[in-house]
Chain A
């Protein structure tokens, strides 16, 4: 049978709406596994997975590792620091060495856009992009979609505004593709110095001011403002950013409808988001984290040949493959 997703998950741009829905639907039964006392099913028993993290990550790496372990895969974590990478090994040599160890799958986080694709084109193992430069972070996009679907019932027709540093955000790009493909209306809001050129050509609306975005949206996805952006001169100060673009309680109180607030983390409280908003009733930030494990289990399952219609059976403990 043909694999429903192909060999790799490199981004949401190349996926169809059907493929995205398939992953979200497959994630549903896996949510329950993490709620059990014994959080383990044998689906990926005997599969070996390398988590290859060239950039530091806490949430994404742990989320992938839990997803892998709960599916009974054997996993190895490689961080760039202290590995052959820090001794000057090129990515292509790293890839060839992993291949030679006959691994089944690589989860890669890398600072260069296109690095996941570079790896995928050079090894036979499945490759999952866990964030490449400022390109895509597809599993984050998927877990955001799943969370919106959980909260609002469906994505189609919902108005979602992605707020903040769009220029440097792989989360923004994966969100834009995923949301557009599932029929949402998508906007971005942030200082023009942090909006990439031609973003409107992807099919998104631009709001100049956060007040306008709040008035329009059903959902705000508030991005982390990397603190180094201020030193690079993209914005004058964090204080000014919070005053002009911060998602605050006061601003939300003037919204015509109740908003759902997402944030991919880690948060800068008091910079892009007010603590009262982050901890408030409209925040689904921890729900996103929970969904992250289920979405990643679904991706691992589907890429290793799992059949979507058997996902329900797989989580009950039977073999999910052919």
Chain B
């Protein structure tokens, strides 16, 4: 290879792939048509955090089985025109009072109601407008400090969408669709092994599955145009629950 050619290959092209629009350089992904901006932390996490609490309480595998049952029960009680992904907490606001009572009864019959009441206590007791508050309060007694500590630990674990707890929150949206058969993949699409996320985190297969789950969740969330009332309430109320925390180094300055 000639020296000149090597030099040409090494040349760094500034803002490669960006499109110049007036004085702005638009990055490649932002040039896509119908591009909508969705924030995982801001908007998706509050919607999915209830699943994070369930994962923390009973582990990923058992939680997935419980979620499957919940999604199927919701499918039974809701009307066909009540669209939405029930992995997202706000979607439960679509159910009317009778449907909520019916869902509660079904959960009770399956022996899941108490588990959910207990697991979701941080949300149903600390937030005024929790869409799952119709499930009722927990049978056990918790102090506010205990509830805040449980929620803080959970949010701290799921806040990074690239770590397994965060990946599984994204995956719950796909799980909901697969269980209720409201999504189908063409036979020639090579689906990853979703279990790899839990069984062999960090493996190439797990990364493939995680990427698939995140992409699906982000895509569907963007198209659902979920009302942001709960997300806003969740974060603003969360701020009120405990004080700011700073690293010792900075605090002691």
Chain A complexes with chain B: no
Q: Which residues of B contact A (CB under 8 A)?
A: none
